[in-house]
Structure 1
Amino acid sequence: MSHSESIFGSRYLALTIGIILAAMTIGFEGLAVTTVAPVIAGDLQGLHLFGWIFSAYLLAQIIGTLVIGREIDRRGPALLFTAAIIIFTIGLVVAAIANDMYVLIGSRAVQGFGAGAMFTCIYTAISISYPDELRPKILGALGTAYVLPSMLGPYVAGVIAQQLSWRFVFWGVLPFLFLAVLLSLPAFRKLKMPSFQERNETGVIGLSVLLAIGTGLFLSGLGMLPKIVGMVLLFVGLALMVHPLRKLLPKGTFTFRAGLPSLIASRGLFFAAYVFTQNFLVLALTDTKGVTADRAGLIVASAALSWCIIAILQARWDAADKGRGRQKRIITGILLMITGIAIMAWIPAVNIVMAVLGEVITGIGIGLAHTTSGTVAFALAKEGESGQVSGSLQFADSFTPGVAIGIGGAIIAMSQTGGMSLEMGITIAMVFNLSLIVLSLFASTRTKQA
């Protein structure tokens, strides 16, 4: 490869800009909905269904990610990316015109399926189109594009909802989505998949749906604890989840088998810890420290800023050591995340300075670990398995955080039922979060490249 070749060179320019815009579109839409969800629920008289605005998206994303991850190796990314864009667009349009909470929740499920499928196609395109030397750069740019909306997205969405209507949040995503399609789809059509080795995998769709149902029951049960019905739903959901997870994830993921299984396990755990921290730190700052919502948003945005900077720098470091330091960067990133989260874990002592410091350090850590883990995963992928590996990466980024946040919410609810303060409940949840990242550190020591 020529030293002058880059992800913005003539060979890769259209694909690079297209997938960056697609990632920004998905990222903005997700964060915007977080901001306007209370307004939507109130307007559609569906506050009792508030949680399903997010749960429907998550559960459908699981199905979209796993199904497309298996099909893309067989059919190629162009057709499936087109289908994913159409599905995502339908979800946006239906949400924008919804006059009923159940219709809105259904539209969120359609959006989730489309978003999961889109990201799986994007990861696959990166795997088969960019050489190993350029993957750290495109993955760094992709991570930056996805995280960047967290700096302005919530504020912009709030202004739109206040000055116009929450419906324009969904309409406003469409022009950027169409531009992404215009730039990336021609490049997707030129991609040629490596030879596909037919695998004996039957019932992927059924397993994915079963996993989504099980996860839905599990999360619903968590929200009802400590009631008996909550415990029943939790255990039934958990029982339904076990078999699909064992079948759909790389063999050995739960036992941290060396190589790709440990990498997927580590990534799911450390990304869950990051998302968990962002959600519960905002709750702690606003509800126990009296920090305004906009200021709390700026504090957590400091992690996004440091993530963006490090995601770009890691590509230079990768080029300098020719990829030899990738595992070290993953481990270093997770250690930094442990440090950052530990600074913020004892909620009674946390102040704004500590929160910003912890967020910046955590952002540096996730910027190192997340981007580098994607590069290593594609290097470990066998021929004809790019789509499956892409699906596993996207699954790690969506499934584990959703489950972890559900557990955290249950911890807080049960602590308050037991008479504890909200501060102490969030502290216990943050300690649980630390256990996730420590477990991720152990798994990361087994992610050696073949």
Structure 2
Amino acid sequence: MSSSSQSIFSPRYFALSIGIILSVMAVGFEGLSVTTIAPSIAGDLNGLDLFGWIFSTYLLAQIIGTLVVGRIIDRQGPATPFTFALILFVVGLIAAATAGDMYTMIGARAMQGLGAGAMMTCVYTAISLSYPDELRAKILGAFGTAYVLPSMLGPYVAGLIADQWSWRFVFWGILPILIVSALLSLPAFRKLKTQGTQGDSGASATWLAVLLTIGTGIFLVGLSMLPIFTGFVLVLIGLALMGYPLLNLLPKGTLAFRRGMPAILATRGLFFAAYASTQNFLVLALIDVKGITPSQAGLIVASAALSWCLIAYLQGRWDAADQGRGRHTRIILGVLLLAIGIALVFWVPVVTVAVAVIGQIIAGIGIGLAHPISGVVAFSQTGNGDVGETSANLQFADSFTPGVVIGIGGSILVVCQAAGMSLQSGLIVTMGFHLLLIVTSLFASTRIRPAN
């Protein structure tokens, strides 16, 4: 049977596919659930003054877990890093579930971030090494769906668990999913080998990742202090510290949209960050400006998740039908639709809620087109010896850039309000920033074909 006629759930791939999907769902559910239960955690542990670090610590640790493990994979293969990442994530969950104070919780979130970043990088690597090119669009579509579904159910389910029992059960409840994932996927991971490379040493990558993490932390702290002068100083220091690691950890030319792999990563980082940040501020606009309930706002945001899931599913069929010839076109079309969707949401503070729903559906179609296929194209341009590094870069684009952009969006809103602007006007300016990012991503997407 040719690979093009196989399914990712055929006997050869079934265990690995289910294991990957469960891993992604566990990480996605945990990350998104914390958004709902964080106020309860901070209140119970008397740590409201440290509330923001529940999220920031996870993001900063994820940077190290993502970037360091990519280099390790290229030298040793993904089995050992995936095992340690699973253990680290599980220990982080247990520590969070049993935390007696806020500092323990923050430490637990750091372990979860390290584990999650490393796990997702290993998963991307397994996809590249295990599935033929013809099936990657399908498994990456399932990968996206496995992450999107928790975005619809995770916050609600976590809130229900916290209300009925305790927020601690949210962390305990993820453990069985990870255990089943490990049992299914680890045997397949042990069979995967990469062609060891003699590129960056692991120590070099580690120190660069740590420097980037420190710089990002300072940058985010500075953003939270704007518009006071100290905030501007910290932002500049953070940017200075972030620059060198970014230039050395990412493919050369990424920040300049060089053709091929650099442009793919730049495109993906920009459109995913714009999408994720838009979702966050759209909820704020719907609740605080339009006056609808949180549950209604959640349903509106879920409309994007539904269209994303549908298009991600169809993506694999379209890719098989045109044998991958339309991949570059679908990425550009997806980013264009994202731009249209965000352009509609841009006006949400001053137009009807119906426009928000339409904008969300269009944006969901756009990211459903662009996100899975950008990964497929990236792997198609990757040699076997560099698959770990490419996996790390894809995961980095999905985690680092959204975290930074959400921080920038929040600071824009704060500065606007400090300048005397209304919340409505501040949200329009923030949405305008997202629109600028997606237009920049659209330009980068025209350069994803390698130079001849």
TM-score interval, normalised by the smaller of the two chains: over 0.9
Q: Which runs of 4+ in 1 moved over 6 A?
A: none
Percent identity, aligned pairs only, is 66
Residue of structure 2 equivalent to 1:17: 18
Gaps of 5+ in 1: none
* C-alpha distance in 1 between matches for 2:404 and 2:446: 24
Residue of structure 1 equivalent to 2:197: 197
Structure-to-structure mapping, 1:152-163, within 5 angstroms:
152-163=153-164
What SS does the corresponding residue of 2:384 show, helix, strand or coil?
Answer: coil
> Residues 266-324 of structure 1, C-alpha deviation per residue, up to 9 Å, x if partnerless?
10000001101110000111111111111111110111110000001011111111101
* C-alpha distance in 1 between matches for 2:375 and 2:4: 22
* C-alpha distance in 1 between matches for 2:143 and 2:415: 38
> Residues 402-446 of structure 1, C-alpha deviation per residue, up to 9 Å, x if partnerless?
111111000110111111111110110000000000000111100
Q: Which residue type is aligned with residue 285 of structure 1?
A: L
Partners of 2:76 and 2:196 within 8 A in 1: no
Residue of structure 1 equivalent to 2:411: 410
Q: Which residue type is aligned with residue 368 of structure 1?
A: L
Residue of structure 1 equivalent to 2:394: 393
Q: Which residue type is aligned with residue 294 of structure 2?
A: A
Residue of structure 2 equivalent to 1:362: 363
Partners of 1:347 and 1:426 within 8 A in 2: no
Residue of structure 2 equivalent to 1:261: 262
Q: Which residue type is aligned with residue 73 of structure 2?
A: I
Q: TM-score scaled to structure 2, two decimals?
A: 0.98
> Residues 364-412 of structure 1, C-alpha deviation per residue, up to 9 Å, x if partnerless?
0000000010000000112300000000000000111111111100011
Gaps of 5+ in 2: none
Structure-to-structure mapping, 1:219-238, within 5 angstroms:
219-238=220-239
Q: Which residue type is aligned with residue 380 of structure 1?
A: Q
Partners of 2:3 and 2:134 within 8 A in 1: no
1:88 aligns with 2:124: no
CA RMSD across the alignment = 1.0
Residue of structure 1 equivalent to 2:244: 243
* C-alpha distance in 1 between matches for 2:34 and 2:349: 30
* C-alpha distance in 2 between matches for 1:266 and 1:309: 22
Residue of structure 2 equivalent to 1:50: 51
What SS does the corresponding residue of 1:146 show, helix, strand or coil?
Answer: helix
Residue of structure 1 equivalent to 2:181: 180
Could you tell me how far 1:244 is from its partner in structure 2?
A: 0.4
* C-alpha distance in 1 between matches for 2:321 and 2:240: 47
Q: Which residue type is aligned with residue 29 of structure 1?
A: E
* C-alpha distance in 2 between matches for 1:314 and 1:418: 45
Residue of structure 1 equivalent to 2:7: 6
* C-alpha distance in 1 between matches for 2:301 and 2:4: 37
* C-alpha distance in 2 between matches for 1:347 and 1:7: 40
* C-alpha distance in 2 between matches for 1:313 and 1:449: 26
* C-alpha distance in 2 between matches for 1:246 and 1:353: 43
Could you tell me how far 1:2 is from its partner in structure 2?
A: 4.7
Residue of structure 1 equivalent to 2:74: 73
Partners of 1:347 and 1:424 within 8 A in 2: no
The alignment covers a number of residue pairs equal to 449
> Residues 329-350 of structure 1, C-alpha deviation per residue, up to 9 Å, x if partnerless?
0000000000001001023323
Residue of structure 1 equivalent to 2:143: 142
* C-alpha distance in 2 between matches for 1:128 and 1:212: 29
Partners of 2:285 and 2:349 within 8 A in 1: no
* C-alpha distance in 1 between matches for 2:89 and 2:352: 40
Could you tell me how far 1:198 is from its partner in structure 2?
A: 1.1
* C-alpha distance in 2 between matches for 1:349 and 1:422: 12
* C-alpha distance in 2 between matches for 1:115 and 1:158: 22
1:384 aligns with 2:385: yes
Residue of structure 1 equivalent to 2:435: 434
Could you tell me how far 1:164 is from its partner in structure 2?
A: 0.3
Residue of structure 1 equivalent to 2:312: 311
Q: Which residue type is aligned with residue 69 of structure 1?
A: G
* C-alpha distance in 2 between matches for 1:167 and 1:19: 25
* C-alpha distance in 2 between matches for 1:383 and 1:168: 41
1:334 aligns with 2:323: no
